Amino acid sequence: GAVVSQHPSRVICKSGTSVKIECRSLDFQATTMFWYRQFPKQSLMLMATSNEGSKATYEQGVEKDKFLINHASLTLSTLTVTSAHPEDSSFYICSARFGEETQYFGPGTRLLVL
Amino acid sequence: AQSVTQLDSHVSVSEGTPVLLRCNYSSSYSPSLFWYVQHPNKGLQLLLKYTSAATLVKGINGFEAEFKKSETSFHLTKPSAHMSDAAEYFCVVRRHASGGSYIPTFGRGTSLIVHP
């Protein structure tokens, strides 16, 4: 299947700083990418849908000013966690939609905010 | 609204015995359903999908699932478990979003434990 990469795979930052996570579709163009958050032993929670060339659509309860999403090209979406706090520590996963039915997932980024 | 319910948070089997991971869906129209597997520290991998073609869907690694509309179920099965099957399994349904697009809704996940 197609490959989706995420960078970095893990990041540790100080409280109050901002962290950018990149999601790239390596061998196909993705007009739509999704960002998820996964807490330990829990399911994936959809945070937002990232559409190339337009504003992201955020799920209810997700702060758009806190989690900035930019989908500037057909192969790259970025998630920036602004003014990170310890409660933002989590596993962040992106996926890229391929066609109508299929998603390919990135390996995830583990964020730890101290 | 479209949703899925994974009935078991944990399933424990012995190596070589059958696997059954249960998933029930709720949908106001014919749904598209998926099973994904997540191994520790790895990305999610698609096992199989149902999109209104054959009701018995065969996936990778010997897994299959049967879409049963009368029971609103899409249970995942495998005849003989391997140690390497130990992982987290997610049942997923697509739901409509604004603008005519679809977005995925995940079940809570089932942790498959395989004993030697």
How far is B88 from B41, CA to CA, in rounded Å? 11
Q: In degrees, to the nearest 5, what angle opens at C-alpha B76 toward C-alphas B12 and A96? A: 110
Largest CA distance in chain B: 49
**Closest alpha carbon within chain A to B87:** A41
Summarised one tens digit per residue, pLDDT across range A1-52 is 678 999 999 999 999 999 999 999 998 888 899 999 998 878 899 999 988 8
Cα dist. A18→A13, A15, A21, A109 in Å?
8, 9, 10, 15
Residue A58 clears pLDDT 70, i.e. is over it: yes
Is the CB of B109 less than 8 angstroms away from the CB of A42?
yes
CA distance B107 to chain A (A): 7
Q: Return the DSSP state at A59.
A: P
Cα dist. B16→A5, B52, B78, B100, B115 in Å?
34, 31, 10, 44, 9
Chain A hits for B102, Cβ within 8 Å: 100
Summarised one tens digit per residue, pLDDT across range B52-89 is 778 899 999 999 999 999 999 999 999 999 999 999 99
SS3 (DSSP) at A94: strand
CA distance A85 to chain B (A): 23
- Is A62 at the interface with chain B, CB within 8 A? no
Is the CB of A43 less than 8 angstroms away from the CB of B108?
yes
Nearest to B97 among A4, A43, A49 (CB): A49
Q: Which positions in chain B have a beta carbon within 8 angstroms of at least one beta carbon in chain A?
A: 32, 36, 41-46, 49, 51, 90, 94, 97-98, 101-109, 111
Residue type, A56: A
Specify whether the CB–CB gap between A79 and A19 falls below 8 A.
no
* Closest CA relative to residue A97, chosen from A5, A4, A8: A4
Specify whether the CB–CB gap between A94 and A6 falls below 8 A.
yes
Summarised one tens digit per residue, pLDDT across range A66-105 is 999 998 888 999 999 999 999 999 999 999 988 777 788 9
pLDDT at B7: 92
> How far is residue B54 CA from its own chain's centroid?
16
